[in-house]
Structure 1
Amino acid sequence: MFILPDRPLEGLPDIEPTDAELDSIEVELPVILAEVEVLDASIPLFDRLVTPLEARRLRRAYRRLLKARKALINQFSVMEVGA
């Protein structure tokens, strides 16, 4: 048997993300969503053979990921040149 404290989070520092961290997450969100899409397409293929439809879904997910990464890199390169 475990005895849990009445207020388990009391005394912990404030661990909320800062505005800068939230902004960086928002900028990177298209890449994060594309990575999730690649995972969604990949996971079912771990235990079965790849059908042509699943292969196409995985290829499209990888293309979207590359496109999102390229857009993010281009966005940062424009920011650096303009700074």
Structure 2
Amino acid sequence: MNKRKPTYQNEPLGKLAVVPDFLPAPEALILKEEAVKVTLSLSKKSVDFFKETANKHHTGYQKMIRNLLDQYAEHFSGRV
């Protein structure tokens, strides 16, 4: 591997072309889902379980609980 620093000179670079911006805006990369904040009391045992499991999988425990509730609601929607 060459460890010398390159020296830059004021020389023509040759034939250049402008590349159009093709990347989406950062806002377009965020999946936005409507959310509602609620206050919910859960058992310590349940919260500890989700925290431990989330920690093992490098994710957030609240996200796991939200996904569980979303799947439950989706499964039983229309059956009321």
TM range, normalised to the smaller chain? under 0.3
Q: Report the structure, 1 or 2, having the larger helix content.
A: 1
Greater RCO, 1 or 2 (C-alpha within 8 Å, sep 6+): 1
Greater C-alpha Rg: 2
Normalising by structure 1, we get a TM-score of 0.25
